[in-house]
């Protein structure tokens, strides 16, 4: 793939051309020249887009596609196309398929299905066999097949000894353990944040205590074992405080926050729109403020769309019976830009790579072209025409966003929306 990018503003603090508007020549997937002007002497494809900005390719640490088993929700192929159209060049695939991804063969299967795509798929294996929370899965075997972490997606590990052993065992090969932050015996049947809104709406509440208690437990286990822990999609102010203190102790812990937990409060559920039924639940403005501060001071390591396609049969029903989840890849960039500057947005979308052992490619001559292409200034109202996912359960539907994604250049491929 040979392409000449014209008049692109580079957003990459690792590049000598950061904040400069330049031409970029890419030959056979590698950046061969960056200059103020480059002549197209070889008659390559020319890319000239309005207010074009480029950055290192974005990474999402929590994406669900459905395949195998739930292809009606999303296939791997269409999911990767959606990721490319949304500006992501790498995604970590959750193992919540049917069957779940809990073996060497399963990891190999999803990797094979993702071959020859612009977007690189990094599979996460389950932490326990069948994601049943009872017996530890074959973690080392899955790591040999290419699993980058181990996680029973949105299922808390109730047995603390199992979590302790997993942290100890995985530390032998630098394995990353992911633990969903919810104490299910506290959350019980809660379907939204336990607060004034849940009382007014007559819905069972999921208290912040359920999240914070599980995080406190896991941090004690981490300190005891000296393992490597990632806590996904935290949602409360106290959770930020707990992780901040753990980092001060030099514990090997990281965490993420789902973008929708930064943008909505539990008052949004007043309409009983099941697209707002997510896990962890959206909480209060004081929680949002703490999460944003946690991102700014580095306590929270990364953002995620927590993209989770759910078919209409499991969403267009009464609120209590609807499945948790929202799609989020397509809206991720535009939503973040309503809260942060473009530079901070790009940092939040790229800085998770190191934690998951994923190679970074600075925008420099001689480096592989791994680029996200976007216009940071265009505003629009997000609607179904912006959705590429098979499932349409979008929490950001009818919300004004800022920033248009053009596509990606990665793996020697150019994908434009």
- Say yes or no: 47 and 68 in one domain: no
- Say yes or no: 48 and 60 in one domain: no
According to DSSP, the β-strands at 371-381 and 53-56 are antiparallel
327 contacts 308 by C-beta, under 8 angstroms: yes
Considering the chain, what is the average pLDDT of its residues?
97
pLDDT digits (tens, 9 = 90+) for 212-269: 999 999 999 999 999 999 999 999 999 999 999 999 999 999 999 999 999 999 999 9
Q: Return d(Cα 156, Cα 133) in angstroms, integer.
A: 8
Contacts 24+ apart (CB under 8 A), 344-350: 344/296, 345/376, 345/403, 346/11, 346/12, 346/55, 346/56, 346/58, 348/295, 348/302, 348/303, 349/55, 349/58, 349/59, 349/60, 349/87, 349/88, 349/303, 350/55, 350/56, 350/57, 350/58, 350/59
Residue 27's pLDDT is 98
Place of tokens 């102790």: 249
pLDDT digits (tens, 9 = 90+) for 15-59: 999 999 999 999 999 999 999 999 999 999 999 999 999 999 999
Whether residue 323 lies inside any domain: the answer is: yes
Domain residues for the domain of 209 are: 56-356
pLDDT digits (tens, 9 = 90+) for 83-132: 999 999 999 999 999 999 999 999 999 999 999 999 999 999 999 999 99
CA 87 to chain centre: 12
Token output for 278: 């997510």
Residue 81's pLDDT is 98
According to DSSP, the β-strands at 45-47 and 3-11 are parallel
- Say yes or no: 86 and 174 in one domain: yes
- Say yes or no: 253 and 373 in one domain: no
Average pLDDT over residues 278-290: 98
- Say yes or no: 312 and 349 in one domain: yes
- Say yes or no: 10 and 93 in one domain: no
- Give the domain CATH number at 308: 3.20.20.140
- Say yes or no: 112 and 8 in one domain: no
Residue 352's pLDDT is 96
Q: Of the residues 23, 287, 306, 311, which is catalytic?
A: 306
Residue 404's pLDDT is 96
Whether residue 43 lies inside any domain: the answer is: yes
- Say yes or no: 141 and 189 in one domain: yes
- Say yes or no: 214 and 133 in one domain: yes
- Say yes or no: 125 and 151 in one domain: yes
Residue 288's pLDDT is 98
pLDDT-derived band at 295 (thresholds 50, 70, 90) equals very high
- Give the domain CATH number at 12: 2.30.40.10
3-state SS record for 257-269? EECHHHHCCHHHH
Whether residue 14 lies inside any domain: the answer is: yes
Whether residue 391 lies inside any domain: the answer is: no
Of 391, 382, 264, nearest to 325 (Cα)?
391
Number of domain units in the chain: 2
Q: Is there a catalytic annotation at residue 218?
A: no
Whether residue 409 lies inside any domain: the answer is: yes
Whether residue 393 lies inside any domain: the answer is: no
Q: Return d(Cα 321, Cα 160) in angstroms, integer.
A: 29
- Say yes or no: 332 and 412 in one domain: no
Instruction: Give the contacts of 202 (CB within 8 A, at least 6 positions apart).
Output: none
Whether residue 383 lies inside any domain: the answer is: no
Whether residue 387 lies inside any domain: the answer is: no
- Say yes or no: 180 and 154 in one domain: yes
In the chain, the percentage of residues whose pLDDT exceeds 70 is 100
């Amino acid at each position: 793939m040979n392409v000449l990018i014209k008049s692109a503003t580079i957003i990459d603090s690792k590049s000598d051309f950061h904040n400069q508007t330049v031409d970029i020549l890419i030959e056979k997937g590698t950046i061969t020249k960056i200059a103020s002007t480059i002549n197209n002497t070889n008659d390559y494809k020319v890319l000239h887009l309005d207010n074009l900005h480029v950055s290192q390719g974005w990474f999402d640490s929590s994406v669900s596609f459905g395949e195998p088993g739930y292809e009606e929700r999303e296939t791997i192929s269409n999911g990767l196309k959606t990721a490319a159209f949304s500006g992501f060049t790498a995604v970590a695939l959750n193992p919540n398929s049917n069957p779940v991804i809990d073996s060497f063969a399963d990891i190999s299967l999803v990797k094979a299905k993702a071959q020859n795509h612009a977007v690189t798929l990094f599979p996460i294996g389950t932490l326990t066999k069948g994601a049943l929370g009872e017996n530890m899965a074959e973690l080392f075997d899955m790591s040999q097949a290419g699993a980058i972490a181990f996680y029973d997606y949105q299922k808390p590990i109730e047995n603390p000894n199992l979590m302790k052993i997993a942290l100890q065992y995985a530390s032998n090969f630098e394995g990353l353990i992911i633990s969903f932050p919810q104490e299910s015996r506290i959350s019980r049947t809660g379907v939204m944040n336990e607060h004034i809104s849940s009382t007014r709406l007559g819905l069972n509440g999921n208290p912040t205590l359920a999240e914070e208690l599980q995080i406190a437990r896991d941090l004690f286990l981490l300190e005891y074992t000296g393992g490597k822990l990632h806590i996904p999609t935290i949602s409360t102010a106290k959770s930020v405080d707990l992780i901040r203190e753990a980092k001060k102790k030099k514990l090997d812990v990281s965490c993420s926050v789902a973008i929708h937990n930064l943008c909505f409060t539990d008052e949004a559920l007043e309409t009983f729109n099941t697209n707002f039924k997510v896990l962890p639940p959206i909480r209060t403005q004081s929680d949002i403020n703490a999460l944003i501060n946690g991102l700014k001071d580095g306590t929270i390591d990364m953002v995620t769309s927590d993209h989770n396609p759910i078919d209409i049969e499991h969403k267009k029903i009464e609120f209590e019976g609807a499945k948790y989840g929202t799609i989020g890849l397509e809206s991720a960039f535009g939503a973040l830009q309503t809260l942060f500057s473009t530079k901070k947005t790009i940092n939040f979308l790229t800085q998770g790579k190191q934690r998951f052992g994923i190679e970074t490619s600075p925008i420099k001559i001689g480096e592989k072209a791994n680029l996200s292409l976007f216009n940071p200034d265009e505003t629009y109202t997000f609607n179904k025409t912006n959705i590429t996912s098979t499932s349409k359960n979008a929490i950001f539907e009818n919300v004004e966003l800022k920033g248009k994604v053009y596509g990606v250049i990665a793996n020697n491929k150019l994908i434009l929306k």
